[in-house]
Structure 1
């Protein structure tokens, strides 16, 4: 055994990585039935990819409000942020996804949290509809 591997646990198998990537794709694509099946089977709701994105962040960024609803209803952390400080609410505002914004706000997402914040994002682009939603 090499010195580099001493005391280190083995990483996930290729099959595990492939499954995780599939789950992240389900969130991105709004494939609610498939994502539900894996959550029911025990997949962690706040699992993160290599960029720190959760299922909820990816669903919000990819305009998948049905997946956002599923994840919020299942207890996903609406304040989770990725490695760049981005949160689901800011992603939904950036993509101008009003339905996901409403879902996240109703779940208690903070429009002044993250980097940039959802409120700052709406203001930067002059999106008055979203500024009003976040007021």
Structure 2
């Protein structure tokens, strides 16, 4: 009786094992390999680098076209149109080219206190020692007109402070002789003296800057010159 019971149980255990395997289902599918013909897996394929781009210089112009462009630049500077000035410089306009009045974009911007235009011309290589029809640098009329910020820009750019124009005047002399001696002129005089302006350079009448300030009644400017010593 004991032998019969064992024979009956063994087949039952085998059936149970088969049932357990069937319930577990199939195993995970294998990961797909790289695409046929590709030496890299998809996730590690190197990216293609973009080709570098370089700014193109403006094409060379004929002499006539260049002269026309230069005159347009001077006209844009005289109109204080900084956006147009920037565009014309970008096309190759010359910041040192002059019109019939011997004004360049740089010289005119400096004389009139057009500081944005002035900075554009300086960045484009303006000749800071260039002169106008009176033989003066941009600093001389800027000082005469009391353009304080312009005077700062021109001094920082290296415009000579003791240049004498065809009238025999320096920037310091014009700042005194051709304006009202007010606060702006006082500040211009202070800036010029700090930059090395020589108050002992005489005008065509033989007067120094101090003598001219005294005879015009500009006591504050006279005090600045005396204090500079």
Does the alignment pair 1:82 with 2:165?
Answer: yes
- What's the CA shift for 1:21? 3.8
- Residue aligning to 1:110: 198
Of structures 1 and 2, the one with the larger relative CO (CA 8 A, separation 6+) is 1
For residues 2-31 of structure 1, what are the alpha-carbon distances to aligned partners after superposition, in whole Å with 9 as ceiling and x for unaligned? xxxxxxxxxxx5733239444332112211
- Residue aligning to 1:58: 141
C-alpha RMSD of matched pairs (Å): 1.8
- What's the CA shift for 1:127? 1.6
Q: 2:211 aligns with which of 93, 105, 120?
A: 120
Question: Taking structure 2 as the reference length, what is the TM-score of the superposition?
Answer: 0.50
- Residue aligning to 1:92: 175
- What's the CA shift for 1:117? 2.8
Question: Taking structure 1 as the reference length, what is the TM-score of the superposition?
Answer: 0.82
- What's the CA shift for 1:74? 1.2
Asked which structure has the greater CA Rg, the reply is 2
Moved segments of 4+, more than 4 Å: none
In 1, the alpha carbon distance for the partners of 2:154 and 2:202 equals 19
Contact residue 26 and residue 34 of structure 1 kept, 8 A: yes
- Residue aligning to 1:70: 153
In 1, the alpha carbon distance for the partners of 2:186 and 2:154 equals 17
Contact residue 81 and residue 114 of structure 1 kept, 8 A: no
Note the 1:21-32 alignment, pairs <5 A.
21-32=104-115
Number of residue pairs aligned between Structure 1 and Structure 2 = 123
Gaps of 5+ in 1: 1-12
Gaps of 5+ in 2: 1-66, 72-96
Does the alignment pair 1:17 with 2:98?
Answer: yes
